Every structure is written in C-alpha cells, then in structure tokens.
Structure 1
Amino acid sequence: MGLDFELILTIAFVVTGAFWLYDRIVFAPKRKAILADMPEAARSALKKNDLPLLADTPKYVAEVKSYFVIIAVIFFLRSFVVEPFQIPSGSMLPTLKIGDFILVNKFDYGIRLPVLNTKIIETTEPKRGDVVVFKYPRDPSLNYIKRLVGMPGDVISYHNKTLMVNGEVVSKEFLAELPISLNPNQEPVKVYQEDLGGKQHETYNSYHHGAPDGDWIVPKGHYFVMGDNRDNSADSREWGFVPEANLKGRAFYVWLHWNKFLSIPSFKNNGLIE
C-alpha cells in the first residue's frame, strides 16, 4: 500500500487542531474585543472572510484552522464509526467482487486508537462467520479482508476441499458450476452454499488444488481466517493466525462497485454482506 491514509488523516487532524487551538487562545479573544468596540454599521459591513483576519490574525493560521472542523468530523467517523475500503482482489469471491466499495463497522470488536489500533473500550466480540478487515500480520501497513473461521482454541482442519471445525464438517450445499466466461478467475468453479456458525454464504471451489491442506490449533488471542474463494486465497492456511490486536472491524455493506477507473460505477452489488 503506497499511502497510509489513516496516518495522513491523523496527522492532518492533529495539525489543524493545533492551529485551531492556537487561534482560540491567542487571536479569538482579541477579535471578540475588536468586534465589541466596533460600531454596528462597521460590523455589518464586514465580509465573512474578513472576520478571521481581525486582530492581525496571520492568514496562514486562519487558513489552516478553517479545515479543522471538517477534518475532525471525517477523522472521528472514519476512526470510530465506519471506514470505507475497496476490494482489490478476488479472494472473497463470490461474496465480494474486485472493485466493490465496502463499509466496515469500526465499533464492533472494540473502540481502538487510530494508527496504533490499541483497544480502549470493549464492545462486542468477533463471531465465527464474520467478514473481518484486519492488518496483515506480516506487514501491518496492509489491510486484508477474509472470513473468520476459527476462534481461539478451535481446531481447524482443511483436507480435500473439506473444512472441519473442532472435528465437525462444515456443511455446504452444491449450487452451481460456473464456466470460465462467468468467473473473474478465468477458470471453471463450483459454487457452494456454506453454513458457518449459522451464517450462510456462498463459496467457490476450483478444480485445481489451491491453498495447502492441514490442521491448525488456534492460539489464545488469535483467529483463523479464510477467503470465500477457497482455492484462490492467501490466508491463514499459508501465513498463519490473525492476532486480536490486528482486527479493524466487521465488513457489513457494499455501497458501490467500480472495477476500473474508466468504467461506469454501478450500484448493482449494493447490499448487506453475509
């Protein structure tokens, strides 16, 4: 990821907030006094853009602090309420398509400090079957999205395209077979309806052998995640477990689909994420 927008937004919030506070302490009282002594006619003649520059307020201070309110609103909404993401790969097909713009609930899994991702307030716990966004354990500057399959203490097995949790086969029902022309992976796949922890969603299985088979015991404070595109997903089967501290939130809504820059945005995929 080239730019860490969360870090940039945090810096912008701190900088504009510092200028806003500096203005409130140093220049705002002087402007108030000047306005109080000014005749009503002169006050009425003042243009709105002239008010911040009274009392010799430096133009750069007035300019920078004017952005504080809008940046603060965006900062708090994005950091503690909801955050937008775009799906860059097909690892979550058919649930999420390349180019889907999604919303992630930042309130679930605890209120966390921006950038540091440190939890400061407990809220709800992750649930099996949730679609979660998290910091990639091998490179925290990257955000990944997968389905939560294994909770702390679970035994996860995946052999011959069959998923087992704590010794029980996760049920799935065959729905259809997609030809190459209908699959972004450019290969035929089988579509299944999977029931994971009472949450039903569709998955893909290809004819080739994808991520490695194996058995895993999920450590305390960690989670096991997999992509719904089971044979075309780099996930816990390859790189291990997701620490609880890396969780960012639960993906809950697709609000726009825009695959290519020159294409026309579409709302055909809009809806809740199962």
Structure 2
Amino acid sequence: MSESTGVLAGIAETVKTVVYALLIAGVFRTLFFQPFWIPSGSMKDTLLIGDFLFVNKMAYGYSYASCPSIRIPAIGIDIGADDFCGVFEGSEERLFGSDPERGDIVVFRHPVTGRDFIKRLIGLPGDRIQMKGGVLYINDEAVKLEDGGQFVETMEYQGPQGLLPRCENGAVGQGADCIKSRQYETLPNGTRHAILNIGTQQSDNTGVFTVPEDEFFFMGDNRDNSTDSRVAQTARGVGFVPREDLVGRADRVIFSSAGRSMLAFWTWRSDRFFKALE
C-alpha cells in the first residue's frame, strides 16, 4: 500500500470515528441526559449562575422537546428541537410518559421562543394559583413559610453574560454585600425549598391562575427576579407550559463556576460539585 493510500485510509478512519462519536453523543443526549448551564439568577439560591447540571430526560418520557437543540450564537447556529423533531410537535402524548411532581425543578422549552428554561413546578392541571402579598396560595391555601435568614452574595458581574444581581438592601457598589431575605416554602406535597425576596412589586399580587388540562405552572425560586408563569405567554412571558414542552428534571449540580469562564479554576465552587437539589 502506498504512503498516500495509507494517509487517506487514516483520514477516513478518523472521520468515521468522529461521526460515530457524534451519533452516540446525539443518541445519549436525546434519550438520557442533556447538559444545562444556569445562565441567570432566577432560581437562586437553589441554582446559581454558572452551575452545570445534567437534565434527566427519562423522568417524564419523551416528546418532540426531547430532541436536542444546538445554539451557538457566535457563529449563527440556532437549531431548535422542532427543527429536528417538529413532525411530533402538537401531541400531548409522551412516549413512556409519567407526570411530574409538584416541586420538581424542570427544564422546558419556552412555548413561544423555543428556548430552554429552568423553573420549579408549582401548579398542576386543575390547580388554582395566586400570589397575595408575596405569599403563594395553592387552591386557596397559603403555603407554609419559615424564616431562612439572609442570602448574601457579592455585587459583581456574574457568568458569561456579566449579569449584576438585584439587592434588597438597595443599590450597592462593586464588591459590597448584596442581600436578599430568604424564606423556606413548603408545598402541599411536602417539598421544602428556599425562596428569595428583593422587594414589593407587581408579581407579588396576582389574580387567580387556573391551570388548564395537560399544562403546568412554573415559578423561579428568586421570586422577584424571575420571568415565569405569572407573566402571560408571549416572547417575554412564559404563561402555562404544555406537557409536550417538558424536557426533563434537574436533580443534581455536577459542577459550578462563579467566573466568566469554566476554565477560570480559581472561581470554581467546589462545595457545589455533585450537590443534590431540593
């Protein structure tokens, strides 16, 4: 065999290996676990900007939303799950489907934009949800609240987007303590988790939301800094989320970085590695 033939054979073998690896990775991501970076502070202090986790896609079965999305804005790639599996969109039936539980932390596709969101499941089909004075009411009953002290973080740019946190103690300078009051909320099924308060705002008092059949109501744990089901379904609001748009359940943080890049090892939060979520 000539040298050139050997080189071509080597290249072909490399290409084949790469293609197989991509196919295996695609099947794994579609059927089992999807990686997810936390880009915003809407789920603090349960999830922090820079947390990395795998979403369990087996938890609720499979729909068109289970297909992968590929978004790389820097080079103009924006391929959604509906581009891969749009033929299945519009069906509320899920393959091997099972119902999510109240209190689950769920990744879902935004019903309008198709972007992946992560929030806590608050309302099930048929529930009546309302906020009164910053307190959550489910089916006309206030949830149990306990004082949780303060959540303190540094006022600094966070994550790749360079977001600044909002603070209950007003406008503070770079490097100062940004403080939010924290409470522990217990849902009717016993799920207990932390929620944060920044101040009084419109979303603290709402009308009654009656969750339709086969749809769900989601809220962020950082209640005053979350665009969620309290805002009507538009390109900016979430509204009710159809069952078909559920992607999977988040159970554990795998890795966490407080810096602008995961390569900045000095910003790694080792205390959050493999942290179970509540």
Shorter-chain TM-score: what band?
A: 0.7 to 0.9
Q: TM-score, normalised by structure 2?
A: 0.72
Matches within 5 A, 1:182-197: 184-187=165-168, 188-196=179-187, 197=189
Q: How big is each residue's C-alpha offset from its partner over 1:215-272, in whole Å with a ceiling of 9 and x where there is no partner?
A: 1000111100000001111100013111111110001110111231263233321211
* Match of residue 99 from structure 1: 50
Unaligned runs of 5+ in 1: 1-41, 54-58
One-letter amino acid matched to 2:33: V
Establish whether residue 125 from structure 1 lines up as the match of residue 126 from structure 2. Answer: no
Structure number with greater CO (CA < 8 Å, separation at least 6) is 2
* Match of residue 276 from structure 2: 272
Establish whether residue 77 from structure 1 lines up as the match of residue 53 from structure 2. Answer: no
Give 3-state SS (helix, strand or coil) of 2:226's partner.
coil
* Match of residue 4 from structure 1: none
Establish whether residue 217 from structure 1 lines up as the match of residue 210 from structure 2. Answer: yes
| Alignment CA distance shift 1:70-1:178 (3 Å) | closer
Alignment partners' CA distance in 1, 2:264 and 2:201: 33
Alignment partners' CA distance in 2, 1:215 and 1:129: 19
CA contact (8 A) 1:214 1:237 kept: no
Q: TM-score, normalised by structure 1?
A: 0.73
CA contact (8 A) 1:210 1:231 kept: no
| Alignment CA distance shift 1:203-1:65 (3 Å) | same
| Alignment CA distance shift 1:210-1:50 (3 Å) | farther
Matches within 5 A, 1:58-207: 62-113=13-64, 114=67, 115=81, 116=85, 118=88, 121-140=95-114, 142-178=115-151, 181=154, 184-187=165-168, 188-196=179-187, 197-207=189-199
Matches within 5 A, 1:211-250: 211=203, 213-238=206-231, 239=237, 240-250=239-249
One-letter amino acid matched to 1:228: D
Establish whether residue 263 from structure 1 lines up as the match of residue 254 from structure 2. Answer: no
One-letter amino acid matched to 2:150: E
One-letter amino acid matched to 1:263: A
What is the number of equivalent residue pairs in this alignment? 223
User: How big is the shift at 1:50?
Assistant: 4.1
Runs of 4+ that moved beyond 6 A:
none
Alignment partners' CA distance in 2, 1:182 and 1:176: 19
| Alignment CA distance shift 1:69-1:181 (3 Å) | closer
Give 3-state SS (helix, strand or coil) of 1:214's partner.
coil
Give 3-state SS (helix, strand or coil) of 2:24's partner.
helix
Greater gyration radius: 1
Q: How big is each residue's C-alpha offset from its partner over 1:21-41, in whole Å with a ceiling of 9 and x where there is no partner?
A: xxxxxxxxxxxxxxxxxxxxx
Query: Which region of structure 1 is more displaced relative to structure 2, 211-220 or 124-133?
Result: 211-220
CA contact (8 A) 2:56 2:251 kept: yes
One-letter amino acid matched to 1:246: D
- Structure number having the greater helix percentage: 1
Identity %: 35
User: How big is the shift at 1:120?
Assistant: 5.2
CA contact (8 A) 1:80 1:112 kept: no
Alignment partners' CA distance in 2, 1:174 and 1:99: 27
RMSD: 2.7
Query: Which region of structure 1 is more displaced relative to structure 2, 64-73 or 225-234?
Result: 64-73
Alignment partners' CA distance in 1, 2:52 and 2:153: 25
